[in-house]
Chain A
């Protein structure tokens, strides 16, 4: 009976629609439902022979044992069982253990049942996980959430939203107080309008605004919001609030340093450019734009030197770029000449510096060039000036020499004659010496007059030049020399066109013409009637005036270098003062011109005066 009883219990239990098992006080399985056995993936035969504690082979064995022991003493026990199946899937179960009584109300074991709570737990955990993820995300991105219920006029802020506002967790926000957190002016007006539009027109928003926290900290936030509908009616507004102060600060910093750099390179009095590997410009400053005649850098970006300069210039530049990129060594302060497509040439002092990436490979070049055209021009001017100064200096020394010599010769004569006079006793001889003294005095006066004439020219360098008709000037001089010319039966052949104009100081031109014309007659060949030919020709930047005579001529080998010197005379002519040509040369040079002579003894001379052609 008993055996049949057990058997029948066994059979009944096996069919229970629930994982259930009967365990005796020895932790042996007495009976179990099919579902229970399936749960533990065991068979009745195997399970019955072993201690259940071994079957479960779990860390929670001790707990099981404890709880089952309590149950054997009459209490009802609960617990959660965790295990993994063969595929590694997590299994969560809640178990319940009740004391198992026999007919005599004696506890003979425990009845346990299992309830699969995997699904339920998963749900809970998912929620928990999601929440923590959200929290974390909100923490990292500093995005707070808010929600506003129209019906109840309730505004709910998430933890992060509160944090951004810097308000305590018990702070109760309202729509109008929330709006007041935005900075007065543009930000507050904007958010008020956006919320209003959201509520009444159903528009959503996303705006970068300035914000002042409860603690008075100014922040940049992105405020976003959108309405939610129920049955076609707006019931809620939800939105986010993101603190982007750091990003904005960073952005401002980057922008500021970018602007600083840009301001710096744009205002450098240097042409700055950056070129990529193919020598195409990827950055140019203002000075470079101005030099290349464009108003915006974008018009130069992507262009190479071949697009901007003459081919050979571009090739030289490209070769330099390649050299710098290859060797990674800078070219510093090299004198270069750039010729633009329109032919305009500019001298530069150019430096090219390799532009390296983080791996130290060349990715282009950084170029800096300084326009030194003006400096070079100044240098040339300076060199010219030095030459002029050297010539002037030489002239001055020569002049000083002449002056000292000439004045000294007169004073020497004076002192000699005075010495004679003092010692002389004869009245007749005294008279003679006095006559000599007055002659010496005349000579001195003449010399001083001559010197004064020279000095006058040298000090009046800036006399105003005028455009003068050459033939008119020649005619004037001829008229003033009319008697002199007639006396010597001079023939003048004037081949100069009436159109020829010279830029000259009127007084100088007159003096020059007078001197040259007089000389041509003064040093005539006594055997011949003086013939003078006047002509002009154009030579580069000069108009050359030629005056050719058939006079005595000058031995150029002997006197060529002394011809225009002071107090140099070469003919035994009593009128020769030795100053005429010196003055003529000075006057011509004072006007920026030059004089040359071509002569042969007994043939005649040709003086050529070079006037600067300023028309």
Chain B
């Protein structure tokens, strides 16, 4: 599967910088869209769905964000009807076991592929991504 479009939903500019840098190395000419919180990303996705446009192949999702956090975004996003499968990469600095448990509960019955990545992110993680896709 060719990756064309990627969403980064994170309020931390350094993380965004890092992700952009890593993605840039792997895929030139990749469309990367940034969102500062879950709400703006959800609005954009809802818009795409209504216009029957293709969804991004990968969404990098932060948990702690203002306005709408990652979990709320996930709840809302999973409610939307989809034709394609999206890989959602939850990126968090949390080492709280409860966050991990919560992720597992989503994995079980979601049609999408949901990963859980603990910061810091190095290259290896994105190599895995390339293999998977």
Interchain CB contact under 8 A, A439 and B67: no
Q: Separation in Å of the B101 CB from the closest CB of chain A?
A: 14
> Considering the complex, which residues of chain A in the window 409-438 have a beta carbon less than 8 Å from any beta carbon of chain B?
409, 411-417, 419-420, 436
Q: Separation in Å of the B95 CB from the closest CB of chain A?
A: 6
Task: Please name the residue on chain A nearest to B122 by beta carbon.
Answer: A419
Task: Please name the residue on chain A nearest to B18 by beta carbon.
Answer: A416
Could you mark each residue 568-585 of chain A with 1 if its beta carbon is under 8 Å from any beta carbon of chain B, else 0? 111111001010000000
Q: Does A602 contact B (CB under 8 A)?
A: no
Bound-state Cα–Cα, A408 to B64, Å: 13
Bound-state Cα–Cα, A417 to B15, Å: 9
Task: Please name the residue on chain A nearest to B21 by beta carbon.
Answer: A420
Assuming A413-B12, A416-B121, A576-B66, is B96 touching A401 (CB within 8 A)? yes
Q: Does A476 contact B (CB under 8 A)?
A: no
Enumerate chain A residues within 8 angstroms of B12, measured Cβ to Cβ. 409, 413
Q: Does A440 contact B (CB under 8 A)?
A: yes
Q: Separation in Å of the A134 CB from the closest CB of chain B?
A: 106
Enumerate chain A residues within 8 angstroms of B37, measured Cβ to Cβ. 572
| Residue picked from B14, B15, B119, most chain A C-beta under 10 Å | B14
> Considering the complex, which residues of chain A in the window 97-149 have a beta carbon less than 8 Å from any beta carbon of chain B?
none
Enumerate chain A residues within 8 angstroms of B36, measured Cβ to Cβ. 572
Enumerate chain B residues within 8 angstroms of A415, measured Cβ to Cβ. 120
Q: Does B13 contact A (CB under 8 A)?
A: yes
Q: Does A404 contact B (CB under 8 A)?
A: yes
Interchain CB contact under 8 A, B67 and A405: no
Q: Does B84 contact A (CB under 8 A)?
A: no
Bound-state Cα–Cα, A150 to B7, Å: 140
Could you mark each residue 75-111 of chain B with 1 if its beta carbon is under 8 Å from any beta carbon of chain A, else 0? 0000000000000000001111000000000000000
Interchain CB contact under 8 A, B94 and A405: yes
Enumerate chain B residues within 8 angstroms of A406, measured Cβ to Cβ. 93
Assuming A404-B95, A405-B94, A420-B21, is B67 touching A571 (CB within 8 A)? yes
Task: Please name the residue on chain B nearest to A571 by beta carbon.
Answer: B67
Interchain CB contact under 8 A, A405 and B18: no
Interchain CB contact under 8 A, B14 and A440: yes
Identify which of A408, A436, A571 contacts B14 (C-beta below 8 A).
A436
Interchain CB contact under 8 A, B64 and A567: yes
Bound-state Cα–Cα, A494 to B64, Å: 37
Q: Separation in Å of the B10 CB from the closest CB of chain A?
A: 10
Interchain CB contact under 8 A, B18 and A417: yes
Count contacts on A: residues with CB < 8 A to the other chain: 29
Interchain CB contact under 8 A, B119 and A416: yes
Bound-state Cα–Cα, A411 to B118, Å: 12
Bound-state Cα–Cα, A415 to B120, Å: 7
Q: Separation in Å of the A432 CB from the closest CB of chain B?
A: 8
Assuming A401-B96, A409-B119, A415-B120, is B17 touching A569 (CB within 8 A)? no
Bound-state Cα–Cα, A408 to B95, Å: 8
Interchain CB contact under 8 A, B93 and A408: yes
Identify which of A419, A443, A576 contacts B120 (C-beta below 8 A).
A419
Q: Does B130 contact A (CB under 8 A)?
A: no
| Residue picked from A404, A409, A411, A420, most chain B C-beta under 10 Å | A409
Bound-state Cα–Cα, A110 to B7, Å: 170
Q: Does A528 contact B (CB under 8 A)?
A: no
Interchain CB contact under 8 A, A439 and B14: yes
Could you mark each residue 33-66 of chain B with 1 if its beta carbon is under 8 Å from any beta carbon of chain A, else 0? 0001101100000000000000000000000101
Q: Does A499 contact B (CB under 8 A)?
A: no
Interchain CB contact under 8 A, B67 and A404: no
Q: Does B72 contact A (CB under 8 A)?
A: yes
Residues of B participating in the A interface, judged by any CB pair closer than 8 Å: 12-15, 17-18, 21, 36-37, 39-40, 64, 66-67, 72, 93-96, 119-122
* CB<8 Å pairs between A and B, sample of 9: A401-B96, A416-B119, A416-B122, A419-B122, A439-B13, A558-B72, A570-B67, A572-B66, A573-B66
A-B residue pairs, 10 tightest by C-beta: A412-B119, A569-B66, A409-B93, A412-B120, A416-B120, A408-B93, A415-B120, A413-B14, A412-B93, A416-B18
